[in-house]
Structure 1
Amino acid sequence: MDKSWINQHRLHPEYIQGVKEFIKFACENKPLLNEVTCPCKRCRNVKLVEKGLLGEHLMINGFLPSYTSWIFHGENLSSPVPHNVNVGQTYLNDGDETYEMLYEGFGLPPPSFIHEEASFGIKQGPDEKTEKFFNLLKEAERELYPECQKFSTLSFIVRLLHIKCLSGWSDKSFTMLLELLKDSFPKGETLPKSFYATRKLLRDLGLDYHKFASEPRNVRLGLAADGFNPFKAMNVSHSSWPVIIMPYNLPPWLCMKQPHMMMTLLIDGPSSPGNNIDVYLRLVVDELKELWENGVDTYDAETNQMFRMHAVLLWTINDFPAYAILSRWSMKGALACPCCNTHTRSRYLKNGRKLCYMGHRRWLNGGHKFRKASASFDGTHEFKPCPTRLSGANVLQQLGHKFKLNSKRQQSSKRNRKGKEKEENEDLGHNWKKKSIFFELSYWEHNLIRHNLDVMHIEKNVCDNVLWTILNVDGKGKDNLNTRRDLQDMGIRKALYPQKRVGNKYYLPPACFAMNNREKSLFCTLLKNIKVPDGYASNISRRVNLKQRSISGLKSHDNHILMQQILPIAVRNLLPKKVVEPLIELSNFFRQLCSKP
């Protein structure tokens, strides 16, 4: 059958006709199966697809160029494995792709090209890479057993490993199969003794990648780090940074319990580690690399067996400052948002002397009512889509060669003046300060989510600011003279503009979201008298001051209960409907975020 169409353009008539003939061939040879392996460039004969979708895959992704012998779709091997072949001979055949795989795996040209160009080299003897290639070439020429004309040792092992991946065999079952085959084959067989011996044989070819998900006992890990002051006296400058690793193999109600958390580091000092945290994380990252690449022999008490356990770090969990330290994306300045990245929209408020980030409506659905609600936001409509989330490869591309680990530029960044460092980052067009040490993990750039924000930290900050704003707490709420001046500069919310009185005094018109004294008293009285089941929350009434009409000293879990359960009910009859509805939606958002799937 003519297969030259495989290398044609996907819109070429010969390619389209070839795809039709291939589908017909595959369906005729597999009439009882609804699904077949897909030889497109993305599936690579590993994934099963329905026969009806096979043509769509081949037209969109293209046909795998090296798949010229359709052995997985019913075609028989037509020619034996060549033996006693010299390097200068052209021995790539249509029936066995082992030799072609060897040359592709080592990035070498065809053997005829090697023979023609060999006279230009002057180095005597093969180098280390060539020596590995010749060793595998011998395995490709070695008989599987005496007088075997169909398979070599290498081609048979590759076929077995492919079936192992498709069928989800465990390493132990693969070893048991090898032992059975060694007993069944004639004397003189050359099969390896176990799965690990097989991996060792194919390691130089780059086929030693272990299928992580095939072993359910492999461990998925998460890393959390944050700093705190261990002394109650906040005037004492001190910082302790525990680095904790949690296993996600346990149920959700157990993996976050103290007995199952491992504190791998405790970074103690007068200040936070900052950019130097890589020095402390070096040992942790080295152990994570060892657990991923080689694994460790582990005893399984349930089955009373030893197995090779591997581990992978899925992500980190932090608050915003720790996120910046671990990811190396600065959470300050005009490009503070790590999700929007270089597309962050910011506006400097000259009276409040801070940056305000205005592009959050881009993350709403296209038809959401808030996109057109200009009066409720900054006076503009929002029709642009949200920025595309960066993959690990995109991050490495942004970093470039200037951000290598432990480079002189990173080590001397502390000595530079802040102004100089800011100008340099503006020239680079991003907020990266340093390349994260986690990129040393070979899989890190392929993780869909590398860093997570702790929802309890965010919920506490949001709840505190909502309470301070609706209670109009002096010095803590977001509604003040500078805020009103910034509204005036932006030309929005004219009813809230400050009104100048005699001298340097200003009158701030009451806002619809601020409670008066009567409403504050009712709100605080409700919280003072509220009773909850034992263990549901702490005694919130102790945090309420009826005389001053204020709340203080709330813990993270107190804010969690207030934000999701109590606040929507408490403000329902105290604030206008246009204020209550957004607060209820905000409460529902956090409730949905924290609920079980």
Structure 2
Amino acid sequence: MTENVDKTWMNLRKFEEKYILGIYTFLEFAKKNSVSWNGYYKCPCMDCGNMLYQNEEDIIYHLKNFGITKTYTVWDQHGEVTNIPTASQLRLNMIRNIASSSHNVNPVVNFVEDAFPFNERYNANESFAEEGTHACDVDDVASKVIDAYSKLLAEMNTPLYEGCIENSLCTLLRAISLKEETGISIKAFDKYLGFQKSLLPTPNKLPKSYAEAKKILKGVGMGYEVIHACLNGCFLYYKEGDMHDQCPVCGLPRYEDVGNKVLMKNVRYFPLTPRLQHLYMSKYTADHMRWHGQRETSAHDDVLRHPADGEAWKDFDRSYPQFASDIRNVRIGLSTDGFIPFGDSATPYSLWPIVVIPYNLPPSMCMQKEFNILTM
């Protein structure tokens, strides 16, 4: 349903009276036009970002204290309908045009689609606006993400060299895949690329080195955060701890050279949230993430096929019925194990990777290495 709702309050400061009144206007709109989950609605505050469900009282509290996401100008997560195509609609239309000349969609198209799985908020079968210049609602995706996506599309539509039937992105992905499968070193891979490039007509789009290849594919990854750590591993300079210049546990300094800020040690953290989101965003895994709540079970079946069949899982459901009521909520297992990476050939030290396992997936998938998520 489309209504003419005044949204100017969204750009005001949180303590202004018009902003406070706007919160209640939004909530009435959401109650009237969207479907709730047992009285819970998506919360558009800066903290939840329409990813979490909250009750009315908590939504009001969040919007008053955290503020509303200012780019959420079309309330389509709460029932508003607009004729302005979103970035995800335009992307899907572009992919359809690329694939229209062939009976089969290029697998590289699927790769790009999974790398940038923007939230499809509308039915994929509805008709799009006529081709031409469109106003585009980009509230669901940051401009820098669209730029990275556009660069990959450009690579996908650029031949490796003039007259070549292979595009540069497909060739690059096959080369990177070859490196990962064979385990060759970066130095050997650089020499391989240099040799292959010398055999191709000039000019060509084959990268000269592994570093150049990574630069092209930079937008595909989900990134990581570098967190400063104590040399003895007893403290992380993270969030509130970032204010310290020495370890509050053992007293060791944070930097080798305070003037140049040379770190003693750091830890790489791979944020979990975007990785779990991609499991729902990809068409290959989204249905499987609801398997645990949709599987067929028998009252007389005592076979333990999956953690969902266990008593611990059932006890958790009884203890937290609100969480359990939505089968899309993610259940994860946390595991770690230490090992000495170089044996006796170097100074011995232990390495402890932390791995997260999404138990929403069926048994045939959740324990596969592709779905074991390394977090740090």
TM normalised by structure 2 equals: 0.35
Structure with bigger RCO (C-alpha 8 Å, 6+ apart): 2
Structure with higher helix content: 1
Q: Find the structure with the greater CA-based Rg.
A: 1
TM normalised by structure 1 equals: 0.25
